[in-house]
C-alpha cells in the first residue's frame, strides 16, 4: 500500500536554492516512491540563532511504498550526499535538512523518528509551503492546517 508523505526541505549554506532544487530531483528519483507535487521555494528568516543566513525552504509531497524508517534512511542518504555534516551545531546553519513532516495519518514515535514532526505546528516555513500544495490537510490529532496557520506569525517568510 502506498502512503502520502510530506517532506520539509531547508538549506542556508552552499547555494541554498541549488541545494533545495537538487534535493527535489533526488526525491523524485527515490525507489518505490513518486514525487507528487512540490511547493515554490521560500526565503525565510532563521529560527534559532540569528547570526546565520536566511533559509531557502520548500515542501514536497510524495507517494511511497517505503516504510517510515526506510524512507528516513533514504532522506539521510540524500542529506549526506549533499554535504550535510551531522555534527553541525543544533539550530545552526546547514547545507540540507530533509524533515519527515507527515506520513499518511500515522503517529510514529521511536528513537529515530517522531511524526508528525515535533515542531511543525509552529514553523511558518513548514506550514505555508505545505498549504500551497495541500490546502486542507488534517493532522492525525484532527487539527486543521488552516487553523494552525492562522495562529502563527507569517512575517519573515517570502515566496520566491
Q: Which of 33, 39, 57, 64 binds ligand ROI (CB under 6 A)?
A: 57
Nearer to ligand ROI by C-beta: 6 or 125?
Answer: 125
Q: Does 83 bind ligand ROI (CB under 6 A)?
A: no
Q: Which of 10, 16, 68, 116 binds ligand ROI (CB under 6 A)?
A: 10
Contact yes or no for 121/39 (Cβ under 8 A): no
Alpha-helical segments (H) within the chain: 16-28, 68-81, 124-133, 145-151
Contact yes or no for 24/35 (Cβ under 8 A): yes
∠ at Cα 72 (16, 110), nearest 5°? 125
Q: Measured from the CB of residue 94, what is the shortest distance to ligand ROI in angstroms?
A: 6
Q: Measured from the CB of residue 2, what is the shortest distance to ligand ROI in angstroms?
A: 27
Instruction: Give the range of 20-28, 41-49, 80-88, 146-154 binding ligand ROI by CB under 6 A.
Output: 41-49
Q: Measured from the CB of residue 70, what is the shortest distance to ligand ROI in angstroms?
A: 23
Signed CA dihedral, 141, 34, 29, 136: sign only: negative
Q: Is 126 exposed, middle or buried (0-12, 13-18, 19+ CB in 10 A)?
A: buried
Residues forming the site for ligand ROI (CB under 6 A): 10, 44-48, 55, 57, 91, 97, 125
Amino acid at each position: 500500500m502506498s502512503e502520502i508523505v510530506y517532506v520539509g526541505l531547508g538549506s542556508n549554506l552552499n547555494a541554498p536554492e541549488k541545494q533545495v532544487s537538487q534535493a527535489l530531483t533526488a526525491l523524485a528519483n527515490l525507489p518505490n516512491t513518486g514525487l507528487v507535487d512540490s511547493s515554490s521555494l521560500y526565503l525565510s528568516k532563521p529560527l534559532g540563532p540569528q547570526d546565520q543566513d536566511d533559509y531557502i525552504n520548500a515542501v514536497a509531497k510524495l507517494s511511497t511504498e517505503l516504510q517510515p524508517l526506510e524512507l528516513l534512511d533514504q532522506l539521510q542518504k540524500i542529506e549526506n550526499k549533499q554535504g550535510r555534516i551531522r555534527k553541525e551545531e543544533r539550530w545552526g546553519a546547514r547545507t540540507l535538512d530533509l524533515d519527515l513532516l507527515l506520513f499518511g495519518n500515522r503517529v510514529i514515535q521511536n528513537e529515530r523518528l517522531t511524526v508528525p514532526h515535533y515542531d511543525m505546528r509552529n514553523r511558518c516555513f513548514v506550514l505555508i509551503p505545505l498549504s500551497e500544495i495541500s490546502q486542507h490537510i488534517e493532522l492525525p490529532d484532527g487539527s486543521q492546517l488552516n487553523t494552525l496557520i492562522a495562529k502563527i506569525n507569517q512575517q519573515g517568510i517570502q515566496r520566491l
